[in-house]
Structure 1
Amino acid sequence: MLFLFTMFGAYRLTQFSDRLMTPEFLVTPDSANYSPEIAFDQIQKHPEKITDGFFNAGFTQYRWWVLTNISPTEKSWLQIANPHINDLRIYEEENGKWKQTYVSGDYYPYAKRIFDDPDYWFPIEPKQQRILMRVDKKGESLNIPLRLIGETALAPYLANRNFFHGMFLGWIVLLLMLNLFLWISLKDPIHFFYILYVSFSVLWIVSQWGMGFRYFWPEWTDFTAKARPFFSNISYIFLLELTARFFTIQNTQPLYRRAIRIVQLLMVISSVGLLVTDYSNSSTIMRYVFLTSMNIIWIGALVLIILFIWKSYAKQKTLALFFLSALGFFGVYILLLLLSQYNLGGNWMFFANMYGSPVGFLGESTILSFGLSQRYNLYKKEKDLAMQALEKEKREVADKMIQTQEEERNRLARELHDGLGGLLGSIRIGADHRLKSDPQTQHWIGEQLDMAVTDLRNIAHDLMPVQLQEQGLDRILEKTVARWNSGEGYKIRYTSQLKNRYPLRTEAALYRIVLELLHNIKKHAEASEVTIEIWEDEKMNKLTLLVEDNGKGFDRGKEEGIGWKSIRQRVQYMNGKINLDSSHLGSTVIIDVSMENEKR
């Protein structure tokens, strides 16, 4: 809505009120360096009548003469609303002769102007009179908008125009500050190039309004005619860079990147050539060739940008639509501006020439700024998807590795239980038979073999409890605790609040962690009591394992052994967190594992 209001306000500035009139006038080209008298005769003989106050000669090889008859009812000002006329001379009729009363233009210092304004203003007394003007813009495009504004209407008219200028510049400053903040925060150079593109585009628009000559280079008359094509060139260079960085097509197809560099190089060369050329004194043909070649380069740049959008559409549809809508918004007004060089008339062309560029650029720069924000959202989603895919792949690899390890443990456990266990059983039977004559030795060997078989079975069970997949973690931990309580030197208390089953990889990992902690306590802690608790927190969506002992603790500054490294690897594999607390009163280990996507 704010943007539509801005566009409507700009259009209203080009319309007329009861005290803002568009005088009719006659025009004729000057093909032979006419004097005012001859020019007046030529206009009378070969008049081209303009009734809507706007004449567009397009690209012209000649000076033009303009004759208007006006009879204001109050003191008024005649506005020539084109701040880029190179040489403007105004003549008033006096005693049947034409007397030059005003000289100004881009070829003269800004101080030569009667009225402190980028446009040309000439005071008109309230009487009927004829005004003859010679307008020189040879070798460039020329349009002549004439407005007659009463003295009392002048201040409101200029205030409205200045309000539009201020609103435009304020909006641009807001976009620049936003992208400066993003550049500093995100360290992404695309915002730096956005700032450069917008800044030079604003300098181009300011030059288009004539405000650059008014405020920045009032004495540099040679640069005034160069300012618009120069700043336009530089802004296109940064727009191409912005396009290349906005999309990622250049990473896979360097041809497009090289094409951008070639066009940018052509623009740099033409910009340098423009600055070093004596543009004011160059021939009409040279100006025409130079400006036409620059137009071709600009059109080529637009085609290249559209090609980027087209090539990126399949994989980056949203970004392509953002960029296309931004470019389309501005491109319409750029097209009208280019058409204005080819003898198209009408008040709508005056609007497009004076205010179309800033209105279109506001739309483009705003959409591009939103597009940059959307670009981060899309890239974040792509990054998240890539991270999820990578995480999934890592888990699949880890699952296969763990599955292989568990299968190997299971095989080793079966071999120990069935092979070595059976062999020890056979040895005991043979020893009983052969040592009948020595009961004492027979009894001792029998006890030793029974202990070896028991240890072997415990090792085989620890390697892979065959009922884990069928009975679940809770039941297997109960059996493990009962077995340890029957043979170890400390008491284990086990509490469980598990309600759900989990994938084998998670249950096996937790089982291995509990066994590793029990072995560490047995070997190092000198504890008499051990507590094992496991519970689910539905609100926090996590599973918690707690193992606590009343031993002597351990020094956390020492290098961790293989057991602790194994525990940490298993916790990391489950995307869990581990918390340790150890002192001379004992140790506490708390492991939290997210239950998301883990329930069976």
Structure 2
Amino acid sequence: MKLNSGIVQILVLLCCLLSFPIFSESIPLNKNQIRLGTYSQILEDPDSSLTIDSVQKKDFVSSNQTNLSFGFTKSAYWLKLSFLNPTDSAKEKMIEVTFPLIDEIDFYEPIHGSYKQTSVGITKPFAERPIKSHTFVFPIQIPPGESTYYFRFKNDDSMQMPLILWEPTAFYTNIRDIQYINGVYFGILIAMAVYNLFLLLTVRDKSYFYYVFYILCFALFLMSQYGFAYEYFWPEFSWGARRMNPFLAGVLELSILLFTRDFLDTKNTFPTLHKLNRFLIALCAVAAVSAFFVNLTIIALQVAVLGLLTVFSILAFGIKALMVGFRPARYFMIAFSALLFGGVFYTLKTMGSIPVNFITEFSMQIGSGLEVTLLSLGLGDRISLLIKEKQEAQKELIREQNDSIAKQARLNESFARFVPSKLIHLLGKEEVIQVSLGDQIQKEMTVLFSDIRSFTELSESMSPQENFNFLNSYLDRMTPAVEKHAGTIDKFIGDAIMALFETSVDDGLMAAIEMHRQLKTYNVDRNRQGYKPIETGIAVHKGPVMLGTIGSKNRMEVTVISDTVNTASRIEGLTKNYGAKILLSETAFASLNDPSQFLYRYLGRTFVKGKKEDLAILEFCDTISEDAEKFFKTKGIFEKGVLEFFQGNMESAKLHFSEVLREFSTDSAAIWYLQACRTPLKAD
């Protein structure tokens, strides 16, 4: 009886096994998500004639692809999915087709011995989808035991059928994350487009127009590619929605080529390749327009091939630009390398040459954030380079004009030694003979004032000839330092120098630093010849000035008259009090392009003769001087001491200045403040 019982159990087991199909690998139903590619069985329908009844009698072939992809094909494809639910209750699941650009999807769900058909696709209204998502999602109830589901796919574009089986909770969590991530991503693209649009309106350089056009095309293309455009922009425009993707692909390729042509200036730098670029632009324009008229399979293949040609064209331009030393090409190649190679992967994926996976599906999206940022930086670098070239060209033009004037009028050349030609030009005159008494112009300028300390005492120890030789030797070294930074010396007042800067405060400050460096070299030469070193004080101030001619009809000069000049002279006088080399007014400091590149400290507020209100001044130190390290180390402590001083906390101020002197014993300003803490100052 035991033997017979064992045999019966074996027979029952065999019968159970024979009653179900034998799976090479069953589909797990206990996971949050699983890709169904390798669990699918495939049947090609070359003439799209099969029905749900006929395919049930056909032999399907097992798939070996994780994400099913068959490239460009006119065939329809049937997929068969068999589930085995070992429990006694139905399992709720969702099947997602993650490729959103499929023309027709027919889903057949078994119900009461027959099949219920659900038809969706990009050629059908968005409202007909069972789940409102940018991808195609089908909720199912898998009954106990065995059940078989069928899909029919038909697409005039690339045939891709990536399927995922989801737990409902996991699906909705995933779709929420995708919506959030893509919202942030597309928000960044739009923000960059708006930002560069403002730059376009400000700079008025057409490069920004092409860049904004490219970003918008790129964003719209990805929205279409990933189904968001159909979901949010044209959910009822089924016919046009299907054709918008190849149209946007063609426009995107067109925008990239236009941007490349302008950014790399291909017309002037690569005339031969420029012709190829124009030809590709024309092809992309034709492909984009024909997307609404030509067979979808043909136009999809066209834009895919044009995409590859565009990639290789842009790489050729970028490499060529790098070879000729075009500086902005570095940003261009770094930015586009990730995107363009991603484009190659994406195109090959679309053509079915490589499998569909996360990398190939989102290859264009992965590097685009970095690409957009780097291209924006590249544009800024390119504009800076163009501005610099224009400035150099303008300077060269001015030099040529000055040479021409010098050759035509020797008198003007001689007179220019006494009246700088820049001052004549500022008055709106081309030649000195055009200047009349009373000519004047008001302008915002930077004024530099320099003076030798204790010059009277030094002068008394020299003969008149030695005085002239000394002054000429000194001024001969200082003048190039001013002119090197686009400055104009208005006049020499004995040992004092008054210079004007039309460009920026940075030029005036750099000229002051250069003068300080030249003075150090000059003192080395004086020491070698047995003379004592000299010290100077330099002040830089900015404000409105009145430039014009004064004097009489027979004797006149061009000069500057304004409170700005007087203030600069008064600030220079303060260098003696503080023992400072270079002082800058708060007005000038506020106009610096980038103060962080200089070494400075806040010196406090002071009453300047002729001014009703006190004025804040700052002390600057040459970064290559021997005192630079100590100046930098004590900057914070010194400024705290200044703050305490002006708040009336003299004891606290003395502690700070004493701490400064322990580190920087020759700090004249700290010594002055320490003395001022002990002896109350008298108002001027």
The bucket for the TM-score relative to the shorter chain is: 0.5 to 0.7
Partner of 1:54: 67
| CA 385–21 in structure 1, closer or farther in 2 if over 3 Å, else same | same
- For residue 253 of structure 1, report the CA deviation from its aligned partner: 4.9
SS in 2 for 1:123: strand
Out of 131, 140, 160, the residue aligned to residue 149 of structure 2 is: 131
Out of 34, 41, 47, the residue aligned to residue 26 of structure 1 is: 41
Work out whether residues 402 and 505 of structure 1, in 8 Å CA contact, stay in contact via their aligned partners in 2.
no
> Structure 1 residue 189 and structure 2 residue 206: aligned?
yes
Map residues 310-325 of structure 1 onto 2, 5 A cutoff: 310-325=319-334
- For residue 217 of structure 1, report the CA deviation from its aligned partner: 1.1
SS in 1 for 2:122: coil
Q: In structure 2, what is the Cα distance between the partners aligned to 1:255 and 1:133?
A: 51
| CA 52–318 in structure 1, closer or farther in 2 if over 3 Å, else same | same
Which digits, 9 at most, give the CA deviation of each residue in 1:287-318, with x for residues without a partner?
44433333333333333322322332244443
Map residues 3-14 of structure 1 onto 2, 5 A cutoff: none
| CA 199–562 in structure 1, closer or farther in 2 if over 3 Å, else same | farther
Which digits, 9 at most, give the CA deviation of each residue in 1:366-397, with x for residues without a partner?
22112112223333444455566667777888
- For residue 405 of structure 1, report the CA deviation from its aligned partner: 6.5
Map residues 456-475 of structure 1 onto 2, 5 A cutoff: none
| CA 288–532 in structure 1, closer or farther in 2 if over 3 Å, else same | closer
| CA 559–225 in structure 1, closer or farther in 2 if over 3 Å, else same | farther
Partner of 2:217: 200
Q: In structure 1, what is the Cα distance between the partners aligned to 2:132 and 2:338?
A: 33
Q: In structure 2, what is the Cα distance between the partners aligned to 1:253 and 1:342?
A: 32
Please tell me the root mean square deviation across aligned C-alpha atoms, in Å. 4.7
- For residue 258 of structure 1, report the CA deviation from its aligned partner: 4.0
Report the AA paired with residue 62 of structure 1: S
Partner of 1:226: 243
- For residue 497 of structure 1, report the CA deviation from its aligned partner: 9.1
| CA 106–390 in structure 1, closer or farther in 2 if over 3 Å, else same | same
- For residue 115 of structure 1, report the CA deviation from its aligned partner: 0.5
| CA 506–173 in structure 1, closer or farther in 2 if over 3 Å, else same | closer
Map residues 135-284 of structure 1 onto 2, 5 A cutoff: 135-137=153-155, 139-275=156-292, 277=293, 282=295
Which digits, 9 at most, give the CA deviation of each residue in 1:236-276, with x for residues without a partner?
2222121122123423554444433332222222222222x
Partner of 1:91: 108
Work out whether residues 349 and 361 of structure 2, in 8 Å CA contact, stay in contact via their aligned partners in 1.
no
| CA 249–334 in structure 1, closer or farther in 2 if over 3 Å, else same | closer
Report the AA paired with residue 59 of structure 1: F
> Structure 1 residue 360 and structure 2 residue 373: aligned?
no
Work out whether residues 81 and 148 of structure 2, in 8 Å CA contact, stay in contact via their aligned partners in 1.
yes
- For residue 235 of structure 1, report the CA deviation from its aligned partner: 1.8
Work out whether residues 56 and 344 of structure 1, in 8 Å CA contact, stay in contact via their aligned partners in 2.
no
Q: In structure 2, what is the Cα distance between the partners aligned to 1:532 and 1:147?
A: 86
Work out whether residues 101 and 122 of structure 2, in 8 Å CA contact, stay in contact via their aligned partners in 1.
yes
Q: In structure 1, what is the Cα distance between the partners aligned to 2:183 and 2:339?
A: 20
Work out whether residues 399 and 505 of structure 1, in 8 Å CA contact, stay in contact via their aligned partners in 2.
no
SS in 1 for 2:363: helix
Report the AA paired with residue 38 of structure 1: S
- For residue 198 of structure 1, report the CA deviation from its aligned partner: 0.7
- For residue 31 of structure 1, report the CA deviation from its aligned partner: 2.0
Work out whether residues 92 and 131 of structure 1, in 8 Å CA contact, stay in contact via their aligned partners in 2.
yes
SS in 1 for 2:162: strand
Higher helix content, 1 or 2: 1
- For residue 150 of structure 1, report the CA deviation from its aligned partner: 0.9
Report the AA paired with residue 350 of structure 1: N
- For residue 320 of structure 1, report the CA deviation from its aligned partner: 1.5
- For residue 363 of structure 1, report the CA deviation from its aligned partner: 2.9
| CA 344–241 in structure 1, closer or farther in 2 if over 3 Å, else same | closer
Work out whether residues 190 and 242 of structure 1, in 8 Å CA contact, stay in contact via their aligned partners in 2.
yes
Out of 304, 308, 312, the residue aligned to residue 317 of structure 2 is: 308
Give 5+ residue unaligned stretches, structure 2. 1-28, 418-458, 481-490, 499-510, 517-535, 538-547, 563-568, 570-581, 583-684
Work out whether residues 31 and 167 of structure 2, in 8 Å CA contact, stay in contact via their aligned partners in 1.
no
Work out whether residues 190 and 216 of structure 2, in 8 Å CA contact, stay in contact via their aligned partners in 1.
no
Q: Output the TM-score relative to the length of structure 1.
A: 0.63
SS in 2 for 1:117: coil
Report the AA paired with residue 153 of structure 2: V
| CA 115–505 in structure 1, closer or farther in 2 if over 3 Å, else same | closer
Partner of 1:376: 383
Map residues 332-347 of structure 1 onto 2, 5 A cutoff: 332-344=341-353, 346=355
SS in 2 for 1:217: coil
Q: In structure 1, what is the Cα distance between the partners aligned to 2:403 and 2:411?
A: 10
- For residue 353 of structure 1, report the CA deviation from its aligned partner: 4.7
| CA 82–532 in structure 1, closer or farther in 2 if over 3 Å, else same | closer
Partner of 2:52: 36
Report the AA paired with residue 120 of structure 1: F
User: Per chain length, whose mean CA-contact separation is higher, i.e. which structure has more relative contact order (CA < 8 Å, sep 6+)?
Assistant: 1
| CA 70–253 in structure 1, closer or farther in 2 if over 3 Å, else same | same
SS in 2 for 1:82: coil
Work out whether residues 42 and 78 of structure 2, in 8 Å CA contact, stay in contact via their aligned partners in 1.
yes
Q: In structure 2, what is the Cα distance between the partners aligned to 1:37 and 1:113?
A: 24
Partner of 1:108: 124
Partner of 2:474: 501
Q: Percent identity of the aligned residues?
A: 19
Size of the alignment, in residue pairs?
442
Out of 561, 566, 579, the residue aligned to residue 560 of structure 2 is: 579
SS in 1 for 2:362: helix
Q: In structure 2, what is the Cα distance between the partners aligned to 1:143 and 1:243?
A: 32
- For residue 230 of structure 1, report the CA deviation from its aligned partner: 0.7
> Structure 1 residue 119 and structure 2 residue 132: aligned?
no
Which digits, 9 at most, give the CA deviation of each residue in 1:37-75, with x for residues without a partner?
322332x3xx33235641111111200000001246731
Map residues 424-573 of structure 1 onto 2, 5 A cutoff: 498=471, 500-503=473-476, 533-536=494-497, 541=515, 564=556, 568=558
Which structure has the larger Rg over C-alpha atoms?
1
Q: Output the TM-score relative to the length of structure 2.
A: 0.56
Work out whether residues 495 and 533 of structure 1, in 8 Å CA contact, stay in contact via their aligned partners in 2.
no
- For residue 141 of structure 1, report the CA deviation from its aligned partner: 0.9
| CA 561–218 in structure 1, closer or farther in 2 if over 3 Å, else same | farther
Q: In structure 2, what is the Cα distance between the partners aligned to 1:226 and 1:324?
A: 32
| CA 71–214 in structure 1, closer or farther in 2 if over 3 Å, else same | farther
SS in 2 for 1:125: strand
Work out whether residues 25 and 53 of structure 1, in 8 Å CA contact, stay in contact via their aligned partners in 2.
no
Give 5+ residue unaligned stretches, structure 1. 1-15, 410-473, 481-493, 508-516, 518-530, 545-555, 569-577, 582-589, 596-600
Map residues 341-420 of structure 1 onto 2, 5 A cutoff: 341-344=350-353, 346=355, 349-383=356-390, 386=393
Report the AA paired with residue 333 of structure 1: G
SS in 2 for 1:198: helix
Which digits, 9 at most, give the CA deviation of each residue in 1:55-106, with x for residues without a partner?
111111200000001246731111111211111111133565x524211112
Which digits, 9 at most, give the CA deviation of each residue in 1:103-137, with x for residues without a partner?
11122111110000021111111424210111111
Report the AA paired with residue 560 of structure 2: N
Work out whether residues 236 and 298 of structure 1, in 8 Å CA contact, stay in contact via their aligned partners in 2.
yes
SS in 1 for 2:53: helix
